[in-house]
Amino acid sequence: MEHIGRYQIQGEIGRGAMGVVYRALDPAIGRTVAIKTIRLDVYDDPDTQAHLRERFLNEARSAGILSHPGIVTIYDVGQESNLAYIAMEFVNGPTLEQLLSRKQPLDGITVLRILKEMAAAIDFAHQKGIIHRDLKPANIIVQENGVVKITDFGVAKIPASHQMTQLGAMLGTPSYMSPEQVQGKAVDGRSDIFSLGLIAYEMLTGEKPFVAEQLPTLVYKIVHEQPPPPHLLNSTLSWQVEVVLRKALEKDPQDRYATCTEFITALEGACNSSKNWKPLPRGASLSLPTVVATAVETPNALTSRRPGDLEEPQRNRRFLTFVMLALVLATVAALGFSFGWFRRLEKHTVETTALPAQTPVTSGRPSPAGPVAAVAPQAAPGRTAEPVQALPQTPATTMVSPEPSAQQQGLEPSRLESSGKENTPTTPGQTSPAPQPALHSTPKSIPAQKLPSYFEEATVFLTTSPPGANVVFDADPSTVCKSPCSRTLPGGRHTVSASLPGYRFAYKIFQVPQDVEVFLYLTKMIGKVQVLTTPPGASILINGEPRQQTTPAVFELPVGSYTITIKKQGFKSDQRVVNVKDNSFIRLEFQLAQ
């Protein structure tokens, strides 16, 4: 094929189930373009052909009204015989799918930069009322200069009867669809936020959140199941990453983030809460060491699996998660039983200490269970104790009970003064007055019980990067301090927030006394400025300071006002003033005059 419409084909860029993407030249203006094609004659059903044709028109109309540096520009749309095509901006660079398939993983800074640029472009489209509906790594292109471009905007919502094609492909990629989309429900911008969360999950862990061999199983997982916690696949990620991703991947759209930028900003802070975090390449989690060794695994069982064959690893992870949960519940139950046992022991100790023991006078003969005792009741004040009749028994050797000591009775010695009579053995039929305890005696003092460790207060040391941030504990203004600082807090759950001019707000939840060292990472409030010139290759000065890059170039700048100056030999210099805001993307185009 040499021509499509007026465009001269120069080569093939990629090929899919429904069509081919070519590199072509527009001879009218000498511009290199990408031609995306789809053959309609492979489908016998006229309704399906009409539906696919409408999809292409929707894509052209949707992307045609979006003018953003992060979105591929649409130039033309047409049909030649049974071949429909779209002419669009040619982007020289690999797709995110190709980058993720490399053995060498992307570094953390690059991952966050790509996600932030994607978020800015998607939010821009949402503000224009356009929903992508098919976000996936294959539709994200990273140019040689690092600028991220999103393509394939405006895929129409597909009825269930048209989802499966004759070639077994689904329009729109199910692995990156939201629950409401796979169920055929109405979708809005929050569906794209779910898809962006799936892409972020894969970029961080090297694995797709939902994987299945059969489409019904995959749909069920997306609608009903939660993905494995990210830190189980990538141990360098903190638990904060799971909290952020879980919110972006909520089944109910109302529970997700309001914008993509809000989501990625929270994800950046969560990732940076762990100083040594790093993304994993695809399939890397399969070769990580496991906690429990199984006898049925062969030495090469993990390494021999195909990267896409994730059914068995996911079942193993679910089993390990179940075992860990059972161990946690058993531990909690054991702690509860131990705590109750100690409480009963404490109560028993208090009762036996508060009631002093009394040794009664015994009479009678020994029995298998010990001597038969007759206890004399106490006498009321001013009265003599009534005699107690001994139980009838045969003559036998009498049992003598010695006088209990003051320490045994828990009484003061001064209250044990006798009436001058000595205790003598008793014989059957005789009575003996019982020893009288002091009327106003007090039990021994009981030492205060120490509270469990989880109720103890502790001194919490807080540091931030960078230091000097204003720190507030539990939203209480009286606890304000400047990091690094410390505060003594009672046991339990606490919150801490940090703010610093030029940096984004940071927030964290921690437990006392478990967490006595708390660290908060503050990210700079930055925006991006893209500088383009015609012709390219111009030098760039920002606030009078020359930069190494020449046009075209993209700069990340802290919030503030900047003067951008352009210089090129043989052309007049030009400059503009820009006001950079947080998460903003500013595109400056200069037409240099000679």
Q: What is the pLDDT of residue 344?
A: 58
* Average model confidence (pLDDT) across the chain: 74
Domains of the chain from N-terminus onward: 3-89 (3.30.200.20), 96-289 (1.10.510.10), 456-521 (2.60.40.1120), 526-591 (2.60.40.10)
Q: What is the pLDDT of residue 308?
A: 43
Separation of alpha carbons 102 and 321, rounded Å = 30
pLDDT in tens, 363-392: 444 444 444 444 444 444 444 444 444 444
pLDDT in tens, 517-575: 888 888 888 888 889 998 888 999 999 999 988 888 888 899 899 999 999 988 988 99
Q: What is the pLDDT of residue 44?
A: 67
Model confidence at 259, in pLDDT bands (50, 70, 90)? Answer: very high
Specify the amino acid at residue 419: S
Angle between helices 239-248 and 189-205 (to 10 degrees): 150
HSE at residue 211, side-chain half, CA atoms within 13 A, is: 17
Separation of alpha carbons 248 and 264, rounded Å = 10
Q: What is the mean pLDDT of residues 198-202?
A: 96
Q: What is the pLDDT of residue 375?
A: 42
Specify the amino acid at residue 295: A
Q: What is the mean pLDDT of residues 460-476?
A: 89
For residue 35, pLDDT beyond 80? yes
Q: What is the mean pLDDT of residues 155-175?
A: 43
Whether 267 contacts 237, CB under 8 Å: no
If one compares 363 and 276, the residue with the highest pLDDT of the two is: 276
Q: What is the mean pLDDT of residues 159-163?
A: 35
Q: What is the mean pLDDT of residues 61-65?
A: 66
Separation of alpha carbons 406 and 16, rounded Å = 98
Tell me the H-state helices in 355-450: 406-409
H helix and E strand count, the chain: 11, 24
Measured in whole angstroms, the distance separating CA 505 from the mean position of its chain's CA atoms is 18
If one compares 451 and 20, the residue with the highest pLDDT of the two is: 20
For residue 114, pLDDT beyond 70? yes
Give the percent of the chain with pLDDT over 90: 26
Model confidence at 584, in pLDDT bands (50, 70, 90)? Answer: confident
Angle at 530 between CA 527 and CA 532, to 5 degrees: 165
Separation of alpha carbons 209 and 348, rounded Å = 54
Other CB atoms within 10 Å distance of the CB of residue 3: 11
Model confidence at 419, in pLDDT bands (50, 70, 90)? Answer: very low
pLDDT in tens, 296-347: 333 333 333 444 444 445 555 666 677 777 777 777 777 766 666 555 555 5
For residue 28, pLDDT beyond 70? yes
Q: What is the pLDDT of residue 131?
A: 87
**Whose CA is closest to 198, among 143, 129, 132, 124?**
132
If one compares 243 and 144, the residue with the highest pLDDT of the two is: 243
Q: What is the mean pLDDT of residues 253-279?
A: 91
Whether 506 contacts 471, CB under 8 Å: no
What is the DSSP secondary structure assignment for residue 44, as one 8-state letter? -
What is the DSSP secondary structure assignment for residue 104, as one 8-state letter? S
Q: What is the pLDDT of residue 117?
A: 94
Q: What is the pLDDT of residue 317?
A: 61
For residue 409, pLDDT beyond 70? no
Q: What is the pLDDT of residue 471?
A: 93
Model confidence at 514, in pLDDT bands (50, 70, 90)? Answer: confident
Q: What is the pLDDT of residue 425?
A: 46
Q: What is the pLDDT of residue 556?
A: 85
Q: What is the pLDDT of residue 473?
A: 92
Q: What is the pLDDT of residue 363?
A: 41
Residue 336, φ and ψ in degrees, nearest 5: -65, -45
Q: What is the pLDDT of residue 145?
A: 81
Q: What is the mean pLDDT of residues 451-474?
A: 81
Q: What is the pLDDT of residue 338?
A: 63
Q: What is the mean pLDDT of residues 486-501?
A: 90
For residue 85, pLDDT beyond 90? no
Q: What is the mean pLDDT of residues 500-515?
A: 86
Active site residues: 134
